[in-house]
Each structure stands twice: as structure tokens, then as C-alpha cells.
Amino acid sequence: MERGRYGESETFSMLTVLQDHVVVIHMYGDLDLVAAAALRACLAEAVGLRTPPRIVVDAEALTFCDSTGLSVLMGALPAVRSVGGALALSNAHGRFARMLRITGLDSELPVHDSVASAAAFLTGPGA
């Protein structure tokens, strides 16, 4: 986990990209209690961008995630599924990937090695 100059948390930001039939949310920095509301709002907006929603949350540049961040990701699943959509993660690494495995969340929220493989999973046959 990286920290700023004086020990403060890194900031959190997101970039939402429409990629063919998939919405990709790239996360940057620390996903914690302070950042949770921003991600929650972004995910809610992403549900309405494509019908049905196919959303990839990319964690490649995520430096930290606490239980609040995991809760936001899991909380988005019912909303996405209720409109026939699907949600997947890409590039989960380090402590974040370990937290997903330990909690069993990786069985509910598919994790892929890249945005491309997550997008293919969401849009491929049987999706």
C-alpha cells in the first residue's frame, strides 16, 4: 500500500470508458471509506449506460482496498443483475486479490487477468 508524502492516503479516482458493449471503470489509488461513495455513484451510473449493463471494474492501478470498497463492489451486484446485466473485475492483484479469495467474493465477482478477457467473458456466448 502506497502512502503520500506525509503518511496520508493516496487519492482515489476513476475513469469510465465505453468499450463496444462494455462499460469499463478504471480505478486509481486507494478505495476506502472516503472513496466508497464515489465508486457507488459511478457504478449506479454505469448500470444505465448500456442495456443490459456489462461492467468491468479494472483494479490494475488500485493501490489499496478496504472492506468498505469490497462492500461497494458486492452491493452493486444485485442492481446489475436485476436488469439482466453482469459485473466482472480485471487486474486484481496483491492484497486486493487476496481479500477477494479469503472472503470468497471471487466466486461471486469473476476476476480476470485483463480488461479484454473480462469484457470477452461478459459478452461471449452464454453471457
The one-digit pLDDT tens for each residue of the chain (127 residues) are 344 444 455 699 999 999 989 999 999 999 999 999 999 999 999 999 999 999 999 999 999 999 999 999 999 999 999 999 999 999 999 999 999 999 999 999 999 999 999 999 999 886 6
Residue 117 neighbours by CB under 8 Å, 6+ apart: 90
* Terminal C-alpha separation, the chain: 35
pTM of the model: 0.90
